[in-house]
Amino acid sequence: MNRLSKIIGGVFVLFGFSWWGLAVYPYLSFASLKENVDPNTKEVAPPDLPGAAQQGYRVYAANGCVSCHSQFVRDKSEGADIDREWGKRRTVARDYMKDGQVFLGVSRFGPDLTNIGLRQKDAQWFYRYLYDPRLFNPDTTMPAYRWLFQDQAIAGQPAQNALKLEGADAPRPGHEIVPTAEAEALVAYLLSLKRDYALPEAPAPQE
């Protein structure tokens, strides 16, 4: 009995220690983070997420994009992330303070997406990419997400965000392919992924 309570007590103490150190401590230390306000320009960093992106991260989560894409840029000393132009500087804790969910990811089967909104600024590009990544690289392993789009008859004017598709992908005559609400939210989220503001704790490394 005595031995049991010693074991249980030991387990609680040792386990609780790791819980405190790796879960509670980061929580407490990140809870005090404040946004950075530039004294001259009064610019707030990181900026608030646009409303549409707030929905989009759920689509990103639900579809396991994180199984193949990471979202953090390591320091120059840690890897070639910056040289690959996935970011001008490493990401720091404040970059994520306003994110509804942080998708660090442990797999780079696809490229890092921390700054995808800087590399591609056009929603149409994203729609076409998600609809058929093979338009851009015939050998790619990025899955197509055709179900995020719908085929509809053109009523009067073609829809503004209809996909510009040619060849095998082109819709039937009189029809058009348009993004669903989910696709729109997802792309709004992807477009919002840009960490191009300056934070004093993460200066861009000198060339």
Partner 1 sequence: MSVPNQTAGLQLNRVAAGNGSVLRGPILLFFVSGLFWLLIAAALWLFSAFQATDPSSPLVFPDVAWLTYGRVYPVAMDLLVYGWASMIGIGAAIWILDSMAKSPFSGGYLPLLAGIIWNLGLLFGVWGVLGGGSTGKEWLEFPVYAAFPIWLAEIIMAVWAFALFLGRRSKGGYISQAFLLTAFIAFAWAYGSANGFLLFCKIGGMAEPAIHWWYFGCLISLWLTPLGVGIVYHFVPLMIGRPLYSAKLATISFWGIVGFGGWTGIAQILGAPLPAWNQTASVVANVLLVVPVLAFATNLHLTMKGSFDLIKPNLALRFLVTGGMVFGLASIWNAITTFRSVNRILEFTWAITARTDLFLIGFVSLVCFGAIYYVLPRLVGRSWKYTRLIQWHFWFSIIALGTLVFDLTIAGVIQGFGLMDPKVPFAAVIDLTKPFLLGYELAGIFIGVAALLGVGSFLTVFVNPAWAPDSEEAPEPVINEEVSLA
Residues 72-131 touching ligand HEC, rule: CB under 6 A, are 109-111, 116, 119, 129
- H-type helices in 20-150, by residue range? 25-31, 51-62, 116-119, 123-131
Burial grade of 45 (CB within 10 A; 0-12, 13-18, 19 or more):
middle
For ligand HEC, the binding residue among 143, 158, 200, 205 (CB under 6 A) is: 143
Q: Which option in ligand HEC, partner 1, none does residue 127 bind, with CB closer than 5 to 8 A by kind?
A: none
What is the spatial distance between Cα 164 and Cα 182, in angstroms, rounded to a whole number?
A: 19
Q: Pattern of binders to partner 1 over 146-175, x per CB under 8 A?
A: xx----------------------------
Q: How far apart are CA 18 and CA 8, in angstroms?
A: 16
* Binding of residue 52 to ligand HEC (CB under 6 A): no
If the CB atoms of residues 68 and 165 are measured against ligand HEC, the closer one turns out to be 68
Q: What is the Cα 122 distance to its own chain's centre?
A: 16
Give the one residue of 35, 44, 50, 62 binding partner 1; rule: CB under 8 A.
62
Which is nearer to partner 1, 43 or 180 (by Cβ)?
Answer: 180
Task: Give residue for tokens 């249980």.
Answer: 8
SS3 content of the chain, % helix, strand, coil (to 5): 40, 5, 55
What DSSP assignment string belongs to 70-97? ---PPPTTT-STTTTTS-SS---GGGGT
Min CB(137)–partner 1 separation in Å: 6
Within 68-107, the residues that bind partner 1 by CB under 8 A are 68, 70, 72, 74-75, 78-80, 83-85, 90-93, 95-107
Q: How far apart (Å, rounded) are the C-alpha atoms in residues 138 and 38?
A: 45
Nearest approach in angstroms of CB 43 to partner 1 is: 20
By the rule CB under 6 A, 69 interacts with ligand HEC: yes
8-state DSSP, 21? I
Longest CA span, the chain: 82
31 near partner 1 (CB under 8 A): yes
Using CB under 6 A, which residues numbered 179 to 198 contact ligand HEC? 186, 190
The residues that touch ligand HEC, with contacts defined as CB under 6 A, are: 60, 63-65, 67-69, 109-111, 116, 119, 129, 137, 140-143, 145, 186, 190
